[in-house]
C-alpha cells in the first residue's frame, strides 16, 4: 500500500544503488529528519532533554556497537568501558587545553587503541570466550578509573565536563548540545548504512559468517577483526564523549559500569543485530521504557487505581519491562527491527499476501 | 465628591477583602518535595525505611496544619540508581515546580549537582553525594545537612583517641568496599594518620562485597588495634561475619552510619555484641518527634509503611532530613513570606542556627558558608538489642575536613 513499487524503473546503476530506492521511504526519512530537527521548537525542555537527547546519544552508541556485534559478529560485553575511555579522555584533553574538536577526535583514538588491545583477544578466541575477554576489559577499566584519582577526579570520583566550544558554539547551551548530539547520531547512521555496502563492510560480514571461509576467499581475518574493533571502539569512544559533554556533564564510574554494558548489549539484541533502525528502536526501548513505565505506574497510583506500597510500585515497571523484553523476543527473535521489517513487507505487497521479492 | 468617596470606599473594601481572602487562598497552597529513591538496585537496603520516615514526617506536618498556610506533597519515585533516569525525574519535577529535591543516591546526586546549581534549586544530599558540597560558597544550592562521610570518619578516629587516650602508635585497619563511596574517606584518614602518627593500612574488598574472605585473613595477620568498616547493605553483614570468623574482637570494630538494627539481626543479634558505628541521628521511638508521628500519623492510619519500622535507625534519618528541611521552610516563610520558592528555601536553610530537636539530632547550624550543619556525629554501640550511645555529639577534626573540602571544591570550581 504505502511502499509502492509500481512505476519505479531503474535505468541507471546509481538509481538501484540508492539507500532508499522506494520513494515513500525517502519521504519517511525526510519527515523524521525534519521532525527531529524541529524538535526544540515543539517539544518541551523535559522531553527534549531527558528523552530525545539521551535517546539520540544512546542510539549512536548502539550503532557503534552493532557495527562490531551485528556486522562483524564479535561479541563485546565491555562496551561501556570503551565509552568510559572516550568520555574521560575527552574531558581530560579539554582540561589539558586542547580545543574540543581535537579532544573529541583524541577521545576516539584513545578508545580505539585500548579497544584494539583487548580486541586482539578476538584473534584467538571466539564466542563466549571473547565475552570473557571483553568482560575483563570492563572490570579493568572500572578498576583503573576508581583507583587512579588523576583519572577519576579525586576522592568523589566525579569529574565535571569543562565548558567547551564546538566550532563557534558553546556547549553550555542546551540547543547546541542537542544539535551536536543529533549531528553525531545522523553521521553515524549514514556511516553505518553505507559501511555495509563497502568492501570493508562485506569483509566484516564474511568474517561474521565464517572466518575460515572468509580467509579462503581472501579476506584477512587478522586485519579485519582488528579493524572492526578499532572502528567500533573509535566511534564508541566518541559517543562516550558526546554522552559526557552533551548529557551527563559530570562523569562518575557508575555511569559506565557493567550494568551499562549489558544495557548496551540489550539495546543491540532487542533492536536487532546489525540493523540500523534496530539500533534506534532498541536504544529507545531499553532506555525509555523503564522511564515511561515508571511514569505510567505512578500516574495510575496517583489516580488511586493502583493501591500498593511504594516498594512494589517501584518494582512493577521493572516486571512489566522484563515481560515486554521477553514478549518481544519470543514474538520475534530477530528483534524490533524485524518486527518493523515484517510490517513493511506486509504493506510492500498489500493487498496480496506474497510476491516475489 | 460623593462619587469619589464611594469609589474610595469600594476600592478600600476590595483591598480589605483581598487581604482577608489571601490567607484563605494560602491555606490551599501546596509545596512539592521530590523525595526520589533507588528502591530497586543498590540502595534497596535503606531506601524503604528512609522514604517512609520522610513521607511520615510530611504527613505529620500536614496533619498539624501545615506551615504558614502551606501544605506539602511528597513526590516519591524510583530512579534505580541510574543517572539518566534521575535526570528525567529531575526535569519532570522541575516542571511541576518542586522546591526541594533529594535523590538519595550518590551517582544520581552527583549528576544533578551541576544542574541544580545552574537552575538554582535546593538539592538535599544528606549521607550521599559529594562530601565537598559542604562548601556553601561553591555549592550554594546543595545541602548535605548532616555529617558527611569525611566528618564521620573523623569522628570515629576522634572517638578512638578519646577512649584510648591517644591515637599515637595505634594500628588501624580501614576495610572498605572498592567503590568511590568506600574510597572517599581515605584522604581524611590518611591525613589524620600523619597528623596523629598512627599506623594506617587500607584493605579493599571488591564491590558488591559478597566475597571478602581473602581480605579478612589479611586484616587478621595485620593485627590491628582497631578496624574501621566502610561498606553498606549486605557487604556489612559479610564483613562482620568474616571479622568474627577471623577472631577480631567486635568491640574493636567501628562502622560508617550504614549499620542498622536489621543488619545486626541478620548477622545474629549476639554475634557481634560491642560493635560500634557512627551515628548522626538518634535511633529508637523514645523521642517526642517519633511519638508525634505515632500519635497523629499511625493512629489515624496514614502511615506510609509498616508501623514496626518506625524508629529504626534509617527511618529516623529520613525523618531528620525532613525536620531540617521544614525548619528551612518555616524560616523562609517567616522571613520572606509566600510564595515558597527554592531560592527562598535556600536562604531559609542558611538561617538555621542551633536547631533544637530535643536530642533527636545534634544542634544543626547551617550558614551560607557551612552547608554541613556543623558536622556533628556520635558513636553508638550494639548491646545485643539496640544501639546505645557511647559518646556525645561532637564535630571532629573539622579543620582537616574543611581543608580537604575547600581544596576539592576549588577543583570543582575550576572546571565548572
Q: What is the ipTM of this complex?
A: 0.88
Q: How far is CA A244 from CA A87, A195, B252, in A?
A: 6, 26, 43
Per-residue pLDDT at B407 exceeds 60: yes
* List of chain A residues whose C-beta atoms are within 8 Å of the C-beta of residue B87: 49-50, 54, 247
Question: Given this model, what pLDDT does residue B13 score?
Answer: 47
* List of chain B residues whose C-beta atoms are within 8 Å of the C-beta of residue A164: none
* List of chain B residues whose C-beta atoms are within 8 Å of the C-beta of residue A46: 88, 91-92, 94-95
Q: Could you say which of A155, A311, A315 has the minimum Cβ distance to residue B183?
A: A155
Distance from CA of B300 to the nearest CA of A (A): 18
Q: Which of residues 264-323 of A touch B (CB under 8 A)?
A: 287, 290-291, 294-295, 298, 309-311, 313-315, 317-318
Question: Given this model, what pLDDT does residue A157 score?
Answer: 76
Query: Which cell is B331 given?
Result: 524560616
Confidence of residue B7 (pLDDT cuts 50, 70, 90): very low
Distance from CA of B83 to the nearest CA of A (A): 7
Confidence of residue B9 (pLDDT cuts 50, 70, 90): very low
Question: Given this model, what pLDDT does residue A301 score?
Answer: 87
Average pLDDT of span B234-238: 94
Q: Which residues pair with residue B279 across a beta bridge?
A: B378
Q: Which of A84, A164, A310 to mutate to test the interface with B (most CBs of B within 10 A)?
A: A310
Task: State the DSSP string of A202-254.
Answer: HHHHHHHH-HHHHHHTT--HHHHHHHHHHHHHHHHHHHHHHIIIIIISEE-GG
Q: Could you say which of B37, B81, B88 has the minimum Cβ distance to residue A50?
A: B88
Q: How many Cβ atoms from other residues are within 10 Å of residue A178's Cβ?
A: 21
Per-residue pLDDT at B41 exceeds 60: yes
Confidence of residue B380 (pLDDT cuts 50, 70, 90): very high
CA distance B136 to A254: 26
B161 in contact with chain A, both atoms CB, cutoff 8 A: no
Confidence of residue B21 (pLDDT cuts 50, 70, 90): very low
Average pLDDT of span B188-216: 94
Low-confidence ranges of chain A (pLDDT < 50): 357
Q: Which residue of A has its CA nearest to B51?
A: A310
C-alpha R_g of chain A:
21
Average pLDDT of span B379-399: 94
Question: Given this model, what pLDDT does residue A1 score?
Answer: 67
Over chain B, what is the mean pLDDT? 90
Hey, where are the domains in chain B? 25-146+283-369, 150-279
Question: Given this model, what pLDDT does residue B12 score?
Answer: 47
Question: Given this model, what pLDDT does residue B74 score?
Answer: 94
A248 and B416 within 8 Å at the Cβ level: the answer is no
B302 in contact with chain A, both atoms CB, cutoff 8 A: no
Average pLDDT of span B378-404: 95
B78 in contact with chain A, both atoms CB, cutoff 8 A: yes
Distance from CA of A314 to the nearest CA of B (A): 6
Per CATH, which fold does B150-279 belong to? Rossmann fold (3.40.50)
Per-residue pLDDT at B11 exceeds 80: no
Per-residue pLDDT at B249 exceeds 90: yes
Q: How far is CA B324 from CA B121, B257, B351, in A?
A: 16, 18, 11
B78 and A294 within 8 Å at the Cβ level: the answer is yes
User: Considering only CA atoms, which of B180, B205, B188, B182 is closest in space to residue B109?
Assistant: B180
Distance from CA of B186 to the nearest CA of A (A): 8
B78 and A95 within 8 Å at the Cβ level: the answer is no
Q: Do domains B25-146+283-369 and B150-279 have the same CATH topology?
A: yes
Question: Given this model, what pLDDT does residue B215 score?
Answer: 95
Domains in chain A, ordered, with CATH?
Answer: 38-349 (1.10.3470)
Phi, psi of A167 (to 5 degrees): 55, -105
A146 in contact with chain B, both atoms CB, cutoff 8 A: yes
B411 and A163 within 8 Å at the Cβ level: the answer is no
Q: Which CATH number fits domain B25-146+283-369: 3.90.550.10, 3.90.180.10, 3.30.365.10, 3.40.50.2300?
A: 3.40.50.2300
Per-residue pLDDT at B25 exceeds 90: no
Amino acid at each position: 500500500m504505502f511502499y509502492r513499487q509500481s512505476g519505479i524503473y531503474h535505468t541507471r546503476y546509481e538509481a538501484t544503488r540508492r539507500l532508499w530506492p522506494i520513494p515513500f521511504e525517502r519521504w519517511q526519512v525526510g519527515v523524521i529528519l525534519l521532525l527531529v530537527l524541529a524538535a526544540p521548537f515543539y517539544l518541551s525542555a523535559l522531553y527534549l532533554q531527558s528523552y530525545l537527547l539521551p535517546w539520540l546519544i544512546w542510539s549512536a552508541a548502539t550503532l557503534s556497537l552493532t557495527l562490531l556485534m551485528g556486522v562483524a559478529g564479535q561479541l563485546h560485553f565491555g562496551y561501556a568501558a570503551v565509552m568510559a575511555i572516550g568520555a574521560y579522555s575527552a574531558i581530560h584533553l579539554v582540561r589539558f587545553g586542547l580545543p574540543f574538536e581535537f579532544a573529541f577526535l583524541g577521545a576516539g583514538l584513545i578508545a580505539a587503541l585500548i579497544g584494539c588491545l583487548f580486541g586482539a583477544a578476538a584473534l584467538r578466541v571466539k564466542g563466549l570466550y571473547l565475552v570473557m575477554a571483553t568482560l575483563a576489559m570492563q572490570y579493568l577499566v572500572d578498576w583503573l578509573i576508581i583507583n587512579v584519582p588523576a583519572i577519576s577526579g579525586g576522592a568523589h570520583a566525579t569529574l565535571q565536563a569543562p565548558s567547551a566550544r564546538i566550532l563557534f558554539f558553546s556547549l553550555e547551551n542546551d540547543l547546541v548540545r542537542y544539535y551536536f548530539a543529533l549531528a553525531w547520531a545522523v553521521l553515524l547512521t549514514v556511516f553505518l548504512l553505507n559501511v555495509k555496502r563497502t568492501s570493508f563492510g562485506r569483509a566484516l560480514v564474511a568474517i561474521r559468517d565464517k572466518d575460515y571461509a572468509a580467509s579462503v576467499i581472501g579476506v584477512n581475518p587478522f586485519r579485519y577483526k582488528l579493524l572492526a574493533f578499532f572502528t567500533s571502539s573509535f566511534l564508541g569512544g566518541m559517543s562516550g564523549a558526546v554522552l559526557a559533554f552533551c548529557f551527563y556533564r559530570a562523569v562518575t564510574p557508575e555511569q559506565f559500569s557493567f550494568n551499562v554494558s549489558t544495557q548496551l548489549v540489550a539495546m543491540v539484541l532487542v533492536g536487532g543485530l546489525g540493523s540500523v533502525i534496530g539500533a534506534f528502536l532498541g536504544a529507545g526501548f531499553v532506555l525509555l521504557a523503564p522511564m515511561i513505565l515508571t511514569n505510567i505506574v505512578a500516574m495510575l497510583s496517583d489516580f488511586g487505581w493502583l493501591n500498593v506500597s511504594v516498594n512494589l510500585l517501584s518494582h512493577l515497571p521493572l516486571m512489566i519491562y522484563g515481560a515486554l523484553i521477553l514478549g518481544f523476543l519470543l514474538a520475534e527473535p530477530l528483534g524490533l527491527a524485524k518486527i518493523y521489517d515484517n510490517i513493511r513487507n506486509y504493506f510492500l505487497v498489500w493487498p496480496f499476501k506474497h510476491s516475489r521479492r | 465628591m460623593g462619587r469619589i468617596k464611594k469609589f474610595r470606599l469600594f476600592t478600600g473594601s476590595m483591598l480589605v477583602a483581598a487581604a482577608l481572602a489571601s490567607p484563605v487562598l494560602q491555606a490551599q497552597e501546596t509545596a512539592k518535595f521530590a523525595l526520589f529513591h533507588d528502591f530497586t538496585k543498590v540502595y534497596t537496603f535503606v531506601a524503604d525505611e528512609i522514604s517512609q520516615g520522610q513521607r511520615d514526617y510530611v504527613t505529620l506536618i500536614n496533619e498539624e496544619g501545615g506551615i504558614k498556610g502551606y501544605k506539602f506533597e511528597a513526590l516519591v519515585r524510583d530512579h534505580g540508581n541510574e543517572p539518566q533516569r534521575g535526570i528525567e525525574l529531575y526535569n519532570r519535577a522541575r516542571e511541576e515546580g518542586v522546591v526541594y529535591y533529594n535523590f538519595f543516591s550518590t551517582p544520581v546526586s552527583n549528576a544533578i549537582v551541576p544542574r541544580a546549581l545552574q537552575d538554582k534549586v535546593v538539592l538535599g544530599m544528606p549521607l550521599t553525594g559529594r562530601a565537598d558540597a559542604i562548601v556553601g560558597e561553591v555549592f550554594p544550592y546543595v545541602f548535605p545537612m548532616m555529617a558527611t562521610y569525611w566528618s564521620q570518619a573523623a569522628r570515629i578516629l576522634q572517638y578512638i583517641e578519646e577512649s584510648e587516650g591517644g591515637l599515637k602508635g595505634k594500628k588501624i585497619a580501614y576495610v572498605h568496599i572498592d567503590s568511590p563511596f568506600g574510597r572517599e574517606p581515605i584522604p581524611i584518614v590518611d591525613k589524620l594518620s600523619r597528623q596523629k602518627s598512627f599506623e594506617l593500612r587500607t584493605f579493599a574488598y571488591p564491590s558488591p562485597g559478597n566475597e571478602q574472605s581473602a581480605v579478612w585473613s589479611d586484616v587478621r595477620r595485620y593485627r590491628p588495634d582497631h578496624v574501621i568498616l566502610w561498606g553498606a547493605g549486605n557487604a556489612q553483614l559479610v564483613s562482620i561475619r568474616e571479622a568474627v570468623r577471623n577472631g577480631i574482637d567486635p568491640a574493636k570494630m567501628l562502622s560508617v552510619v550504614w549499620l542498622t538494627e536489621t543488619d545486626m539481626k541478620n548477622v545474629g543479634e549476639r554475634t557481634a555484641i560491642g560493635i560500634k558505628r557512627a551515628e548522626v541521628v538518634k535511633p529508637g521511638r523514645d523521642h517526642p518527634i517519633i511519638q508525634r508521628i505515632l500519635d497523629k500519623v499511625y493512629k489515624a492510619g496514614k502511615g506510609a509503611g509498616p508501623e514496626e519500622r518506625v524508629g529504626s535507625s534509617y527511618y529516623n534519618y529520613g525523618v531528620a532530613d525532613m525536620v531540617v528541611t521544614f525548619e528551612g521552610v518555616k524560616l523562609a516563610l517567616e522571613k520572606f513570606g509566600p510564595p515558597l520558592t527554592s531560592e527562598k528555601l535556600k536562604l531559609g536553610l542558611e538561617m538555621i542556627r542551633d536547631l533544637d530537636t530535643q536530642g533527636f539530632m545534634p544542634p544543626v547550624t547551617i550558614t551560607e558558608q557551612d552547608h554541613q550543619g556543623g558536622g556533628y556525629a556520635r558513636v553508638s554501640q550494639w548491646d545485643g538489642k539496640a544501639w546505645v550511645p557511647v559518646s556525645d555529639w561532637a564535630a571532629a577534626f573539622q579543620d582537616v575536613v574543611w581543608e580537604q573540602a575547600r581544596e576539592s571544591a576549588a577543583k570543582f570550581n575550576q572546571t565548572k
